[in-house]
Chain A
Amino acid sequence: MEKNNQIHNFTLEESAKALKSGQCEPSDFYQALRKRAESVDPKIHAYINYAEPSSVPSANGGVFSGVPISLKDNISTQGWETTCASKILKGYIPPYDATVVRKLKEAGAYIFAKCNMDEFAFGSSTETSAYGPTLNPWNPEYVPGGSSGGSAASVAANEAICALGSDTGGSIRQPAALCGIVGLKPTYGRVSRYGLVAFGSSLDQIGPLTKTVKDSALLMNVIAGHDPLDSTSAPEPVPDYTADLEKSIKGMKIGWPKEYFIEGIDPEVRKALENAADTFKSLGATIKEISLPHTPYAVAVYYVVATAEASSNLARFDGVRFGLRAKADTLRDLYFETRDLGFGREAKRRILMGTFVLSSGYYDAYYRRAQKVRTLIKEDFVRAFKEVDLIMTPTAPTPAFKIGEKMDDPIQMYLSDIFTISMNLSGVPCMSLPGGFDNKGLPIGFQLVGNFFNESKIFRAGHQFEKASPFHTMKPKI
């Protein structure tokens, strides 16, 4: 009984162990988390809905046998409404599971809850959700970040053991930073996108949001790998991501890109990064200043490429086959009314931008040019990783901002992704991990960027950092 009161605090590692050893039953986990969620979720609104008790599977002997996992609501779940927090998908029940869901189920896990998010992942604060905003568990006056704000907040508030989110321009890492947890965007192509409702197809990756670095590695062991249903998934073999965790990082070279430490960066964020650098040095790593010269163009390039892809990806929400259908007398009105009622302001804004940059006469000036600069940004990383093992940067320019603060200023909102976007444009793996707190007690995160398909090195440095720092053990009082 004592134990059951603690279950919600468990890491994934502890949960899997407790279930495997028979110390706890799958139903204990369901009940503990459900109880916790019922007490904390009304305060933060991280979840859209929960699984029924009947959906708890019996133990199957898999590595995650009986483990509940929370899922961003843009990942398809067979028989369970998947809405992307948009009115336009109200009532849409996928007839199939996303590949990551299938893999989790095969490993014995089940989906415990669907998490709130920015509508179609368009946002950095989870305020654009049709279900209303998620609040930061550390202080409900602040945003949890986004777009995977529900996933991040549920893990931070210990109403989830771990969660999956998706990251197109920072949507896993930025909320992880703002909520004080670990969030990984894997290498593009490392995790199957099959079943992830597409936003920017060439940028989207599914990844874990966890309480520890090791949990992130454990989740990746299950969800990574080639998927014949996703042509963009990579054939590279998947290593055991936990294998190198305990290895020393002595001699490791960590790059410090000067373009990420510009004026205007929050002094407390900068301080946290300098402290993290000191920790790495104390572990035997060296910090080396490097240059990623095309960094200043990343936001501009991103908002051309991502919106172009989004405008096309969202064309299928037309009221013809699923989801919302407006009453209309003509085909034209059916399209106009359905999309007008179904999409929120930010979704409409991005569809308009994307349609514009692809339009005849503008394509070369915007989309083609953006793709060229994207190549240069990628080359920055290729060059940098000839010199260093990892790169460290801030995750977000500031800690969490207040609810409503940036909702009327899209440019300011877009700039909160300024440090996360380049990794999506280039495809490199990147993890945000807790690196401190500001004077208001809000978490600050920092990023470790790895070379293509070298998540292992990120996990190793991240795990060693965790062993030498207290931040990941600190929990919001909620």
Chain B
Amino acid sequence: MGVPSAQSAAFAELLLDSGLITEEQLAVAREAKARTGSHIDDVLVSMGLLSVDLLRHQVARAWRLPPLDVTQPHLEPDLIKRWSGQMMLAENWMPIRRAFDGVIVVATARVPDAARRAQIEGVLGEPAHYEAATSSDIRAFVLDVFHREIAHDAANTLHTRNPELSARTTFSRGQKVGLVVLGVALLTLLVFFPVQAIIGVITVISLVFFAGTLFKFFVAMLGAKFDVVERVSDADVAALTDTELPKYTVLVPVFREANIVAQLVANLGKLDYPVDKLEVLVLIEEEDHLTRDAFLGANPPPHMQIVTIPKGAPQTKPRACNVGLYFSTGEYLVIYDAEDTPEPDQLKKAVVAFRRGGEKTVCIQASLNYFNARENVLTRMFTLEYSYWFDYMLAGLDAADLPIPLGGTSNHFRTSALMELGGWDPYNVTEDADLGIRASALGYRVGVVNSTTMEEANTSIPNFIRQRSRWIKGYMQTTLVHARHPLQLIGEIGWRRFLSFALLIGGTPATFLGVLPLYAVTLFTVFIPAEVLGQFFPVWLLWLCLVNFIIGNSVMVYLSMMGPYKRGTFELILWAVLNPVYWILHSIASYKGLWQLITKPHYWEKTEHGLTTQSNHAAAEVTP
């Protein structure tokens, strides 16, 4: 343990003299400071030994400065906005007003020794008076002053920088023209050559279905090679020391989730990461008082703080995340939902994975699985599908170095790279998938890590349809965004990755849109006389349809049987045969998504959480 600095020693003595902490508590805090390299004041607050108000008054005494009056700070926005809010957050100081003598008053959360004064006054270009503050004071005032700019940036940074990469414009002019031409051509063909046109449509749908099935099969089989491989082992995690761990930001966007928000305090409280290097920002919309009250009522620890999301449009999760990104000070950042239960060592595993992945690895996706798999048929199917997706499909995409569409939560980022990428697209309702593809398109790499976050599987069909309609609409948006210049995209990422993108992101909605018509065609073929049917099904097309019917469906059912293997949840395997029924729900959702893409593309179809009757805590303890 190193020798404390003079300021630190004085501050500690003051705390002891004031009776605010005991010798033992100070020793524990100093040990944590030595272990993690954090500031003693941050350690004391994050360990819950000192409240923010007390800290402010104590540092003020120790530094012999007046404390910042947080009740009446007399902020001067015009003055403050001359400098960057993010610089203030990063450096833990902010100008707040001019004093009566005309000198700028600066609130600082670090001791204003000579070097710091010189640095601050160098930035200001003039001398300053100082008041003692805390990091959370700085964050609150930055949000207060910059909320309009933050709200604007959160919604428009990506669009301003590169409109082509944003889903704010759903269809580009070229796409509109192309779709109209295609529609007119199809209608014309249907009028003048109805048989050939129908044959053409059935052929295209069948080929997309067939190619998508083959692609998923090969990728999942590749992923199956690695299901017994521990990418980051327990020994790798154990070898990490607290000192070398970087600061980590956890963003938890919540909206109208008062019923479950308290749960996150318990769930994220189990993360095995030094709390003074952990910044949990709970992102709550300005008008969502119920959720805010529920969260505060859950008595969150000091390192979990609320960031209020300023009102603005679109009111989406990615916009909230962009606000969170503005306030993030961690080297790495992860998104969790309120009901998520990540494995305790997930952040450490992600740190190891980032180090191994090299500078170009900008994101690491952890697996998602579901604690309420056995609740009903829908949750079983949901769990089967996502076990296959996260444990095999993403592993296969990773092994083949193909673009990985990020999924929902548990996406870990290098914060600086995320900022370079332009953050999340608030106009895309699957902002995560879009970001994964954008990262790949820009030459970065997205990887996976062998850690799981337990979530709540959808328990009700209407809720499922709502959720899926958003996801499928988002895939459509993502396809439209990244296919604005297909030839350019092929030039950038190559044919192999382009085809992967087309089959996975474009093919998924297309396949689901095709399910209901293909089921209907299959059903009609039983009743329609062979001579009528024969003209629409030449031999080669009948063959293709037969292969799709026999091989395609069977292979897709078979692939979902892979789902339970990694986790040994074998009781789910037989449920895979119900997939053809499950796909009907997807198909219904895809039509809803398509309709919304046209009528309200940026509308965020909210998924209700907390509908389950099962607890996630028992499940979290048995995950491998």
Tell whether A pairs with B: no
B interface residues (Cβ-Cβ under 8 A, vs A):
none
Identify the A interface with B (CB < 8 A): none
